[in-house]
């Protein structure tokens, strides 16, 4: 099992156990899916789990037979297709939220796609590679955040709390030590 699959499996299992232990079949949406690792894990746990992956490009679609439905294009342009016939128990945004140009608007619309009690699983970088807590902040300030693909914003625990308040959800988990301290992980529950 690859490290990314192992990580996603662990997180999926904990989320399922903590929030959806009594749900037999889960609906999972992966936004900015790429290789759709969270969808892959959902299918490995239960083949009946419904998986939907959204991405702006088609390049990974044919490599991911574990995805029941692919939606290609911008997420905001496909909200009705993403909703389809169900709401989602889990919406995964793995290294996506920092790229969204109108993040708050998109997240509000995605919140409408969650079941009551549903969870956003979010990971994203929160500081540049090489940053250590005991180093001077000037190292952080040397990094350029205008790169391709562009990171339009970075988050910390406070900004995730503000986002949760705006979405009218709660932060049920936050950890800034994901990916060897290079990313944060947050769970926002509706």
- Mind listing the pLDDT tens digit for each residue in 160-179? 999 999 999 999 999 987 76
Domains of the chain: total: 1
pLDDT at 148: 43
Mean pLDDT taken over the chain = 87
Q: Which of 182, 156, 153 is nearest to 171 (CA)?
A: 156
pTM: 0.87
**CATH number of the domain bearing residue 76:** 3.40.50.150
Six-digit token string for 124: 């994203």
Residue 160 domain boundaries: 3-189
- Which of 9-13, 97-101, 124-128 is most confident? 9-13
Distance, in Å, from the CA atom of 37 to the CA atom of 40, rounded to the nearest integer, reads 5
The continuous run of DSSP H or E covering 155 comes out as none
pLDDT at 147: 47
């Amino acid at each position: 099992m690859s490290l990314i699959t192992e990580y996603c499996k662990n997180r999926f299992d904990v989320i399922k156990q903590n929030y959806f232990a009594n749900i037999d079949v889960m609906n999972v949406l992966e936004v900015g899916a790429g290789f759709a690792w969270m969808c892959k894990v959902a299918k490995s746990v239960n083949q009946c789990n419904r998986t939907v992956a959204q991405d702006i490009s088609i390049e990974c679609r044919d490599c991911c037979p574990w995805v029941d439905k692919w939606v290609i294009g911008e997420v905001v342009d496909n909200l009705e297709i993403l909703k389809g016939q169900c709401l989602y128990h889990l919406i995964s945004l793995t290294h996506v939220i920092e790229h969204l140009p109108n993040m708050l608007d998109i997240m509000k619309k995605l919140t409408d796609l969650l079941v009551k009690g549903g969870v956003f699983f979010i990971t994203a970088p929160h500081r540049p590679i090489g940053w250590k807590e005991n180093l001077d902040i000037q190292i952080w300030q040397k990094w350029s955040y205008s790169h391709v693909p562009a990171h339009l914003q970075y988050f910390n625990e406070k900004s995730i709390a503000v986002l949760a308040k705006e979405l009218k959800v709660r932060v049920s988990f936050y950890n800034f030590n994901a990916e060897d301290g290079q990313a944060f992980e947050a769970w926002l529950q509706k």
